[in-house]
Structure 1
Amino acid sequence: MTTGEHPIPLADSSLQAVTHLPAYEFDVSIVILAGESHLDLESFAEMVDAFRKVVREARIKTEFIVVDDGVGGDFFDLLVQLNREIPNFRVIRFRRTFGESVALRIATERARGEFVITNTWYMQVKPESIIDVYKELKKGADFVAARRVPRIDSRLARMQSWAFNKLTQMMTKVELHDLNCSFRGFRKDVIDAIQFHGDLFRFMPVLAVGQGFLVKEIEVTHVAEKGPGTFLNFSLYLRRILDIFSLFFLLKFIRKPLRFFGLTGIALFMTGIGVVGWLTWQKFFGGVGVVDRPLFVVGVLLMVLGPILLSIGLIGEIIIFTQGNHLKDYHIGAVLGGEPDEE
């Protein structure tokens, strides 16, 4: 699959074969994130049973890690019961809600499987999709993103999802179609290599592409979701748009902030010069007053704001110059050859 400036490379198991991988206790760690204050205990228990049946029939050695992100109450009581009844069923409980990014990173650090497959507390796709993701990871993909097809939610939800994913594609040049799907799989070292916080966890496959990981998107069967509605209100719209612009800056300008702030600052300064110059021309040659016109204030403001943004870009460049060696924005897939010659 080609994605413009950031192509998603095809998984190639030949490179993975030469990499010495550590031994793992499990084939897969299934991480389930629960952060809703009101969730359906019955639906959660049914999902766990369905996942267990699939991995048992497929003979995939699996552990479950459920993160109670500040839910507590009856849900935690259910987790305690399942922990006693189900082998390799582990629970991580937070005293308050810290968000999915923190929950995902903590769970992945404690995972003992070669691969990690994540899901929210309710079913989004058919349980058999676990096998599809597992197969792609075994073939050599570092990250497998799921695309729910056909979508069976409301027309409005589908339109919102399309707009969100389309805007992300335009800003990042990475062609992924269902970033809101919580069902995804990856190698543990992917989490160690990419940086994300807050709501940026949903952009993990995009960040993985930026790091050079092998990312593949597969189609999975969508099922009726019993979780919260997918409708986005106005405040969520704004948050998602800000997240996309934040992602765009992280991918494009993290090592060259002066290009962003410098170009923006110069553009504002030149616009301000043009506005003030035009008004000055009107004053001297047209006899039109300037000081009492709001446009003059805007022009002066732009002339002041431009150098400020330029200065921010210069400060950013200084920080990158002095600390850039600690900023790892690449990933080595494999190294062929022996040790370097000794002098």
Structure 2
Amino acid sequence: MTLELVEQNLRPEFSAIVAVSDVARLADMLTSYRAALDAPGRSYELICVTDGREGTTMEALHRLASDWPELVVLGQHPWSDDDAALLVGVKRARSDLVLTLPGWPEIDTTDLPTLFEALGDSDMVIAARSGRDKGGLRRTLFHGLLKRLFGLSVDDPFCRVRLARKPVLEDAGGLGVRQHFIPSIAAQRGYQVTEAQLRPAAAEEEAAHGRFVFKPLGHVRAVLDALMLFVVLKFLRRPMRFFGAIGVPILLVGLATTAVLVAYRLFGATALADRPVLIFAVLMVVLGIQIIGLGLVGEIIIFAQSRRMKQYTVRSIQREDADAIAEKTKEAAGSPPQRAGE
């Protein structure tokens, strides 16, 4: 048996990842996941990526892993954030099927098998907590932002429970943004994204973990990430379209204003030395040329790096058997004509 076959036999059917900094009762949360992960009867591994500087949490996790062979604890140091830690866990996952889980109660863990049933031929299935209020201001604004920028708005964008194929998470999560945008990025890149309704976690469980929601600075970063993603996904390969859409109108306004001032000077004998509009017009022309120049520089960089950039991914290749092709060729050609006397 070759080494590749041995590794394939030892590879789990799916990899579950919990990427979160130190939160209250993290070890207890992983324990609650254990019964749900064992229930489907599939082989798995659970990768927990957390802040390695938290000694108390790390000790509790190591004690938990001592009698849980499927649990892998990664104490990342230095710690950046949950989103970067998720990508670390995805890269270390041994299975081609990855389940992302939060470090606090979000869903009823007994409903996790529903994600595997809903995946089918899709590339990613997102958990949507049923029965939750969808009319909040934050949720409404976030829905509108995702719909406007990316054309996709899921029912529960703040839920971190997702089941996806590993290449999809590596591709969508490689931009280093918040996990809430991963489904939108995946859909923008052509992957098939679906949703599955799961029951939310009990209110007393959420209260016991003391998870706070309102983060003003986090919401501002989310808006900035959304705008950055829109520009990157839409204009990364054609930067001149983005800079040109800004620079050309500015240049035209500056040229038109300058033309009007020159016409007044030539035909109206109006002095231009004491007119501030002339300075404004010249600045607009210079600014428009500079912005367009940035777009040209971006086009040169993209052209130079185009061979290294991944233009697309091949989902599958279907090829007919060589013997079947040869047989069809003979049938199409027909039998050769018989010579006289034969």
- TM-score interval w.r.t. the shorter chain? 0.7 to 0.9
TM-score using structure 2 length: 0.80
**SS of alignment partner, residue 109 of structure 2:** coil
Contact 2:129 2:200 in 1 (8 A): yes
> Identity of counterpart residues, as a percentage?
26
1:166 aligns with 2:128: no
Contact 1:102 1:197 in 2 (8 A): no
1:207 to partner: Cα distance:
1.8
Deviates more, 1:123-132 or 1:197-206: 197-206
1:55 to partner: Cα distance:
2.4
1:296 to partner: Cα distance:
5.3
In the TM superposition, what whole-angstrom CA distance separates every residue of 1:185-218 from its partner, at most 9, and x where no partner exists?
1111223334634334432222222332221122
Query: For residue 237 of structure 1, what is the amino acid of its counterpart?
Result: H
Superposition map of 1:48-197 within 5 A? 48-70=30-52, 72-137=54-119, 139-151=120-132, 158-194=136-172, 196-197=174-175
Gaps of 5+ in 1: 1-21
In the TM superposition, what whole-angstrom CA distance separates every residue of 1:159-203 from its partner, at most 9, and x where no partner exists?
212211221111111232333221111111223334634334432
1:302 to partner: Cα distance:
2.6
Q: With CA pairs under 8 Å and 6+ residues apart, which has the higher RCO, 1 or 2? A: 1
Residue 221 of structure 2 corresponds to 239
1:259 to partner: Cα distance:
0.9
Deviates more, 1:212-221 or 1:270-279: 270-279
CA-atom RMSD in angstroms: 2.9
TM-score using structure 1 length: 0.80
Query: For residue 92 of structure 1, what is the amino acid of its counterpart?
Result: L
Contact 1:196 1:204 in 2 (8 A): no
Contact 1:35 1:99 in 2 (8 A): yes
Query: For residue 326 of structure 1, what is the amino acid of its counterpart?
Result: R
Residue 17 of structure 2 corresponds to 31
**SS of alignment partner, residue 27 of structure 2:** helix
Change (3 A) 1:209 1:304: same
Query: For residue 113 of structure 1, what is the amino acid of its counterpart?
Result: S
Contact 2:178 2:222 in 1 (8 A): no
In the TM superposition, what whole-angstrom CA distance separates every residue of 1:259-313 from its partner, at most 9, and x where no partner exists?
11112110121123344555667788596987564x6554433322211111111
Distance 2:27 2:196 in 1: 26
Whose radius of gyration is greater, 1 or 2? 2
Contact 2:83 2:177 in 1 (8 A): yes
Distance 2:48 2:16 in 1: 8
Distance 2:185 2:147 in 1: 13
